Amino acid sequence: MEMLELLKRRRAEEILDLLKQRLVEAEEDVRRLRAAIAELERDDPRSRLTRRRSADRSDRRVARIVTPEQLLQLIPTEGIARVELDALTGAPGGLVLATLKQLEADGRVRRDGERGATRWYLVRTKPHRLPGRRASGQAADLA
């Protein structure tokens, strides 16, 4: 019986040693796999794309400033949609729309249509008459 117990103990010790060895190997595999994942994440094009997108967003925040005069020069006689002005100026739509609304409040542009079909037009102002000049169809005042 002692011999049987001795064999059982020896067998248990061998199994325990084998399990410990496998555990060390598994831990080493986990360490290598984590290192490989970290390296792939550094080189992953999607990670670079995410970084690039965030850089693009910060560039958009510093978007070109559009002055009212610039917009007035871009509006043709047949009118233009706001999205077309966005594309021409490279400025965000909100900035272009706010500038257009300010120009509308100042009476320099008008809009026609609703929502996506809205077109913006220049408001034609009457030329200033100089004293002593006749407007078409009117006689000059001679005093």
Domains of the chain: which residue ranges? 2-58, 64-122
**Could you report the per-residue pLDDT of 39-64, keeping only the tens digit for each?**
777 765 554 444 444 444 544 444 46
pLDDT tens per residue, range 81-130? 988 888 888 877 788 889 999 999 999 999 998 887 889 999 887 655 54
Closest of 80, 61, 64, 66 to residue 122, by C-alpha: 80
72, 109 Cβ separation under 8 angstroms: yes
Mean pLDDT across 19-31: 88
Tell me: pLDDT of 79 over 60. Answer: yes
pTM above 0.85, yes or no: no
Topology adopted by domain 64-122: Arc Repressor Mutant, subunit A (1.10.10)
Question: Are the C-beta atoms of 123 and 108 separated by less than 8 Å?
Answer: yes
